[in-house]
A = this chain, B = another copy of it.
Amino acid sequence: MKTAEKSGTVSRRPPVRLLSSLASLARFRRTAPSPVVLVPTMGALHRGHAALIADARKRAGRNGTVVVSIFVNPTQFGPDEDFEAYPRPVAHDRKICADHGADAIFLPSVAEMYPVEASVFVEEGSLSRFLCGSARPGHFRGVCTVCTKLFHLVDPDVAIFGEKDFQQLAILRRMVRDLNFRVKIVEHPTVRESDGLALSSRNQYLTPEERAVAPRIQAALQDCGKRVETGERSAAKVVVALRRSIDRIPGARLDYAEVVDTETLAPVRRLDHPFTVAVSVFLGKARLIDHLSFKP
């Protein structure tokens, strides 16, 4: 809403188009002015998504096209995960899209995206062995497959993803390179609450008590940063400190805490070239991820 109030050009755009079938998207795409910028989301949009959409608007320019896709993609959820429970506040999402300058929302059905006997998948076999890829088997296969489909359907010049999901970003960049997609992948910095908690649609699963302690995940990462700044070069020692901080958060259960090479995502031992400290924590019903990257 802020964006719309600030910028007269945005508020004068025609109303955002709701494209709920592949055919309506194809018709829309045929006459959509270039550049076409895609913001792929699972909906339940928050200020982080709003920032991506506003960035997309800027990159598309006044005459280009911004498409936000909203699709809770079943193939990236594990059998015990929150696919059914995942929030789907369509009217709210539509308003966020309109207020931040989207031209169209692509909102396909699961039935149209995955015909009954779908049997073709896109798989990344290196970067996805670690972190969330190891904790959520099949997750990145689902992500790569649905992004391939979205890239084919929307045919964007640019696609914008949040840096919060840094493993996803690394894998999608690899996918675009290895499969020669024409789309350019752009990352947008993580948006945080004032107390440091990274914005996530899953934050709404938190009780007030859980929400109150959730910023301690980011604080624990910042603490790792201080250790590195004061000369710590052992990944194992950083992980021990990180685990200890997470264990002290009431109600938190560690999923993983790792120090990985920022390029390959493989675990590292010595902190002597670019690395990332990454953590995944279950807090009540929510699984929250965060990370911090370093260039020593």
**Which among A89-97, A173-181, A238-246 touches the partner chain?**
A173-181
**A152 and B174 contact, CB distance less than 8 A:** no
**A123 and B120 contact, CB distance less than 8 A:** yes
State the number of copies, please: 2
List the 10 closest A-B pairs by CB distance, nearest first: A119-B126, A120-B178, A152-B180, A118-B178, A120-B175, A149-B180, A119-B125, A120-B124, A153-B180, A148-B179
CB contact list, A105-139 vs B, under 8 A: 115, 117-127
Q: Within the assembled complex, what's the spacing in Å between the Cα atoms of A127 and B124? A: 21
Is there a chain B Cβ closer than 8 Å to A145's Cβ? yes
Interface residue from B125, B127, B175, B180 paired with A22 (Cβ < 8 Å): B180
Q: Which residue of B lies closest to A171 (CB)?
A: B120
**A178 and B122 contact, CB distance less than 8 A:** no
- Known: A119-B127, A120-B122, A120-B124; 4 extra A-B contacts, CB below 8 A, are A22-B180, A119-B125, A122-B122, A123-B123
Contact count band on A: 20 to 34
Contact with B along A35-51 (1 / 0, CB 8 A): 00000000000000000
Interface residue from B153, B178, B180 paired with A119 (Cβ < 8 Å): B178
Q: Which residue of B lies closest to A178 (CB)?
A: B120
Contact with B along A166-188 (1 / 0, CB 8 A): 00000000110111111000000
**B126 and A178 contact, CB distance less than 8 A:** no
**A120 and B144 contact, CB distance less than 8 A:** yes
**A182 and B123 contact, CB distance less than 8 A:** no
